[in-house]
Amino acid sequence: MRIGIAQINTTVGDLAGNRRKILDAYAELVARGAQLVVFPELVTCGYPPRDLLFKSRFVPDTQASLDLIASAIGATPALIGTVTPNPAPAGRPFFNAAAFCHRGHVLRIAHKCLLPTYDVFDEDRYFEPAPSPLIVEHAGLRIGITLCEDIWTHPALRTPRPLHHINPVALLAASGVDLMVNLSASPWQQEKETLRLQLVADTARALRAPVVYCNAIGGNDELIFDGRSLTVDAGGRLLARLASFREELRVVDCPLPPPLPLSLDVGCSTLDVRHSAKPPPPPPPPPLPPKPRPKPRPNSSTPSSSACATTRPRAASNAHSSPSPAASTPPSSPRLPPKPSDRTTSPASRFPRPFPRNTRVTTPQPSPATSISITTASTLPPPWPPPKPRSRPSSPDSRATSPRRTFKPASAASS
């Protein structure tokens, strides 16, 4: 894929002058055969805009300028750094964004995830961070869009206190991209050229995809931007490096995997292919059928419904039949189930009563005519030895005079 890198010098607040530079660079890179044109960070308004963002007309005028630029974009798409308002009532009022423009319209807008708030940067004062980077699909390729600080997450740059809570490069690697583009406005400092090249190369190896790094050029306030835009392949090898401290437009041939076709002919069948980062989730399993309820067992004591149904028509037919010699007798009424009061409600009433107490069951020797004789307590022999009966005194005087009670048999007392 032929990618055009527009390393241009913009002026903070000069919306009309920046718009002319953007359109002129786009036209020249398209004429050179670019298939995608990349611009630096916040190129529409210049970096850093600082408190100009709080002016009432600055952000709306920047959006109007972006719409004019997008209307001039043709079949070759362009990634343009800009500022957009935050529609949410909470959070910072603006987004540091990159607009994907194609065929006269702004199709997608990517927001910056990591906001530098250290050294010379104070982006947290103005911008709201995004939770994850944006991936745009174009020409069958997945293009990950990041802005400047989003790739400054190398392990060698970590401090004891982490500066950011997410890693956009790791998120893109997990989703899978064919190309990553970084729109940057990175100021110059000593030995930053070597550090920047190492950072971009390690990012490409982590993504296993080429990386295009477009940096700003020029001086705004006390910041000096050195340019030196980069392009590396998936293995981290340097493909192109633009000039330092001056503007340059260049088209770089970036090796990319060929896009997958929409269908493949395999034997006698055709397979549809959709290029996506993750396979679609499997469909949910069908719901289980409801379990059938168990049918109630028919009660033997009550007639079935079919018996009642067959009895009623017979009664009706007997009532409407021709008179007979026995017609004087009333027709028999159909059998109805017994009333609840007639039914035996107690389970114990279904069984015979047990033998009464003090009942002995004797079983004689088996014989051809064996019978069981039951004798009640009135016919049982007395226990042995027989208890001695007690006798009461005849008068209260005898009870008091006799020191010891005497018991006599009932026969002796009566005599």
pLDDT value at residue 190: 86
- Radius of gyration for the alpha carbons in the chain, expressed in angstroms and rounded: 52
Q: Count Cβ atoms within 10 A of the Cβ of residue 242 and give its class: 0-12 exposed, 13-18 middle, 19 or more buried.
A: buried
Decide if 15 contacts 45 (C-beta within 8 A).
yes
Instruction: Return the H-helix or E-strand segment holding 80.
Output: strand 78-85
Question: Which residue is catalytic, options 21, 101, 112, 254?
Answer: 112
CB atoms within 10 A of CB 388: 9
How high does pLDDT run on average in the chain? 78
Q: How many CA atoms lie within 13 A of 126 on its CB side?
A: 21
Decide if 251 contacts 214 (C-beta within 8 A).
no
- What whole-number distance in Å separates Cα of residue 321 and Cα of residue 317? 6
CA distance to 30, 81, 102, 366, 415, per residue, from 37 (Å): 8, 12, 11, 117, 147
- What whole-number distance in Å separates Cα of residue 23 and Cα of residue 36? 14
- Residue 291 pLDDT grade (very low, low, confident, very high; cuts 50, 70, 90): low
Question: What is the pLDDT averaged over residues 217-237?
Answer: 93
- For residue 224 the two structure tokens come to 């000096």
Q: How many CA atoms lie within 13 A of 84 on its CB side?
A: 19
More confident residue, 94 or 381: 94
Check pLDDT > 90 for residue 16: yes
- Global pTM reads 0.63
CB atoms within 10 A of CB 247: 15
Place of tokens 């208890």: 387
148 part of the active site = yes
Check pLDDT > 70 for residue 3: yes
Question: What is the pLDDT averaged over residues 4-26?
Answer: 97
More confident residue, 85 or 336: 85
Question: What is the pLDDT averaged over residues 159-164?
Answer: 58
Check pLDDT > 80 for residue 189: yes
112 part of the active site = yes
Check pLDDT > 70 for residue 304: no
pLDDT value at residue 191: 83
pLDDT value at residue 50: 94
CB atoms within 10 A of CB 396: 8
Mind listing the pLDDT tens digit for each residue in 248-283?
Answer: 999 999 988 765 555 555 444 444 544 444 555 666
- What whole-number distance in Å separates Cα of residue 207 and Cα of residue 200? 11
CB atoms within 10 A of CB 149: 24
- What whole-number distance in Å separates Cα of residue 40 and Cα of residue 21? 12
Region class of 307: left (phi > 0), else alpha (psi between -120 and 50), else beta: alpha
- Residue 385 pLDDT grade (very low, low, confident, very high; cuts 50, 70, 90): low
Which of 57-71, 191-205, 302-316 shows the lowest per-residue confidence on average (mean pLDDT)?
302-316
N-to-C CA span, the chain:
145
Question: What is the pLDDT averaged over residues 279-293?
Answer: 66
pLDDT value at residue 13: 95
Question: Which residue is catalytic, options 45, 101, 113, 148?
Answer: 148
pLDDT value at residue 274: 45
192 part of the active site = no
More confident residue, 290 or 47: 47
- Residue 165 pLDDT grade (very low, low, confident, very high; cuts 50, 70, 90): confident
Q: Which CATH code fits 2-258?
A: 3.60.110.10
- For residue 246 the two structure tokens come to 């001056």
SS3 of 98-156: the string is EEEEECCEEEEEEECCCCCCCCCCCHHHCECCCCCCEEEEECCEEEEEEEHHHHCCCHH
- Residue 214 pLDDT grade (very low, low, confident, very high; cuts 50, 70, 90): very high
Q: Count Cβ atoms within 10 A of the Cβ of residue 385 and give its class: 0-12 exposed, 13-18 middle, 19 or more buried.
A: exposed
Decide if 59 contacts 85 (C-beta within 8 A).
yes
What is the phi/psi pair of residue 97, to 5°?
A: -130, 165
More confident residue, 29 or 152: 29
Strand partners, 272: 263
Residue 411, C-beta contacts closer than 8 angstroms, at least 6 positions apart: none
Q: Using alpha carbons only, give the angle 312, 314, 316 rounded to the nearest 5 degrees.
A: 70
pLDDT value at residue 131: 93
More confident residue, 183 or 284: 183
Check pLDDT > 80 for residue 10: yes
More confident residue, 400 or 174: 174
Q: Count Cβ atoms within 10 A of the Cβ of residue 356 and give its class: 0-12 exposed, 13-18 middle, 19 or more buried.
A: exposed
Instruction: Return the H-helix or E-strand segment holding 269.
Output: strand 269-272
Check pLDDT > 50 for residue 307: no
Decide if 97 contacts 89 (C-beta within 8 A).
no
- Residue 325 pLDDT grade (very low, low, confident, very high; cuts 50, 70, 90): very low
Strand partners, 95: 84
Mind listing the pLDDT tens digit for each residue in 137-159?
Answer: 999 999 999 999 999 987 666 65
CA distance to 10, 32, 119, 134, 252, per residue, from 36 (Å): 20, 11, 33, 17, 10
pLDDT value at residue 256: 83
